[in-house]
Amino acid sequence: MARSAASLRTQFFADPEGKFVHDVVLASCRQHGSKIALVDTSCTPARRVTYGAYGGLVECVARGLVAAGIRPGETIGIFLPNCWEFGVAYHAATLAGAIPTTLNPTYREREVHYQLEAAGAVALISDGTLLSGINLSGLPALRHVYTVRTPGSSGSLQFDSLLQTTAGVALPTPANDSRSVLATLPFSSGTTGLPKGVMLSHHNLVANVYQTLTPGEYGAFTEDDVMLCFLPLYHIYGLTVGLSLALIRGCTLVLMPRFDCERSLQIIQEESVTQTLCVPPTLLAYCQAAEQGKFPREHRLRWVKSGAAPLAPELARRFTAATGIPIRQGYGMTEASPVTHLGFLAPELYRPESVGMPVAQTECRVVDEKDNDVAPGEIGELVMRGPQFMQGYWKSPDATAVALRDGWYWSGDIVRVDDDGFYYVVDRRKEMIKYKGFSIAPAEVESVMLEHAAVADCGVVSRVDGAGEEIPCAFVVLRDGEPSNQQTAEKLQAFVAERLTHYKMPREIHFVQKLPRTASGKILRRDLRKLV
């Protein structure tokens, strides 16, 4: 069985060599012309953008950026929820030769500053509502701020101003090597530490789309598909598997700014959605809706994709039993653009509890602590290489050297492979907390808490709550004289919430006398987890 399944994944959907993300998207725009490319449900009524119009907007905004002085290789921040402007801004930035770095639209000022400064962003495309209360001073590289719908503060420009540039503005001469030119700079914490820029080239992203569009597989994407995407486009899952894949394949992409179970079910019916991208919490919400008789009987959903977090086998079975819709689980990471493994939909290969097998031209090893390959059925760390893996971490050679060794990417994830070649994720990356598909770096939360005058030391780990979600929990050593009571705990939570996005706030605060540490000073998180 493994041979027959794996043999389906030897070829790309098309040859990615020398292709740039914007070029393949614009080629699709020319091919599909009057077909609807995007449906933006954040507008009232929903805004529908044809492929022809989308291509025109991308080229026009790219010329506007060049006219504004954006030079090839400079970085542009995109700080937006899912909307048509996000897609246009992203593809226009790459067409102008710039490197988009995408920011979580729930970020606070501290996080926005950190990413823009680390990336050296010279421009920011956002919205006045998101920028309210965020002071962008102190960013010497930042020259331009554009807002898409609500005007920003003095000095910012409307995004529409980029559409007023004449066609006479020349776009930069295309580079020769799609492998060396960066197409995006998302920030990821990797296996530990503060977020780092992940350098993904045009070749990385185009190759990953073509790997995911596996030719000849049962249930594969077609031009007739309508994809619902409420997963954030700033995240590599939504950016590649949602925005880029849908547009390159000629699908219609329906965007929601955030997940709303009831509204998404209405959209599934209204827009005749055939696929949707999910994370386990959204599948749980759909299960509950189906069990309450609220899931639409008349729908065209062929299958749903689950990724970004481990999917409990029971949830997969429960969802399909309640809705009749199969699940295609996948696996990956920002450093892999992101897809490395996909499940199968063919009945004889359908195993929703597995992340499936590697996508085309992705080599995998499962190794023990001595870097020796383990036998089928035994657990070990997953090590991979392929055309989708990053160039390295932005200005972080030490972190790059740890993750990339001799051309192989060391994931830090523990997996096993069965006798048929199907992969199962046993344990996720060391230290990282996964909340509703979002990664939380304990070190980032700890660094903020240590700024509070009452905190002498702290450590952050996760526990699984009643809904099956990992939630961050903080163990805090207070300074002398500070009361270890609920009021102090609430003050600490509010302190973090003011400085980091909401999901990073510790849901529980436990006061302790000291933290367990190694002789070298590292927190023994496994001991803290035992206390939880």
Alpha-carbon gap, residue 67 to 63, rounded angstroms = 6
Section 21-43 average pLDDT: 98
Mean of pLDDT over the chain: 93
- pLDDT for 141: 97
Rounded to a whole number of angstroms, the distance between the first and last alpha carbons of the chain is: 42
The per-residue pLDDT for range 319-352, each reduced to its tens digit, is 999 999 999 999 999 999 999 999 999 999 999 9
- pLDDT for 215: 81
Residue type, 319: F
pLDDT of residue 45 exceeding 70, the answer is yes
- The encoded tokens of residue 276 equal 């949707």
pLDDT of residue 450 exceeding 70, the answer is yes
| DSSP secondary structure, 131-196, as one string | HTT---TT-TT--EEEESSS--STT-EEGGGGGG--TTSPPPPPPS-TTTSEEE--EE-TTSSS-E
Domains of the chain (ranges; CATH) run 433-531 (3.30.300.30)
Contact between residue 116 and residue 77 where contact means Cβ atoms under 8 Å apart: yes
Going by their DSSP bridges, the two strands 380-385 and 339-342 should be labelled as unpaired
Q: Which value, to the nearest 10 degrees, does the dihedral of the CA atoms of residues 289, 317, 254, 236 take? A: 120
The per-residue pLDDT for range 9-25, each reduced to its tens digit, is 889 999 999 999 999 99
The per-residue pLDDT for range 192-240, each reduced to its tens digit, is 667 899 999 999 999 999 999 988 889 999 999 999 999 999 999 999 9
Contact between residue 308 and residue 237 where contact means Cβ atoms under 8 Å apart: yes
DSSP H/E element including 264: helix 261-270
User: 127-136, 269-278, 447-456: which has the minimum mean pLDDT?
Assistant: 447-456
DSSP summary character for residue 335: G
pLDDT of residue 2 exceeding 50, the answer is no
Go through the chain and tell me how many residues it has. 532
Residue type, 396: S
Alpha-carbon gap, residue 321 to 290, rounded angstroms = 10
pLDDT of residue 75 exceeding 50, the answer is yes
pLDDT of residue 5 exceeding 90, the answer is no
Going by their DSSP bridges, the two strands 144-147 and 196-201 should be labelled as unpaired
> Which of the four pLDDT bands, split at 50, 70 and 90, describes residue 398?
very high
| pTM for this entry | 0.88
Contact between residue 220 and residue 73 where contact means Cβ atoms under 8 Å apart: no
- pLDDT for 525: 85
Based on the number of CB atoms within 10 Å of its own CB, is 76 exposed (0-12), middle (13-18) or buried (19 or more)? buried
- pLDDT for 366: 97
3-state secondary structure of 512: coil
DSSP H/E element including 209: helix 202-212
Nearest Cα to Cα of residue 390 among 121, 114, 182: 182
Contact between residue 392 and residue 400 where contact means Cβ atoms under 8 Å apart: yes
pLDDT of residue 166 exceeding 50, the answer is yes
pLDDT of residue 518 exceeding 80, the answer is no
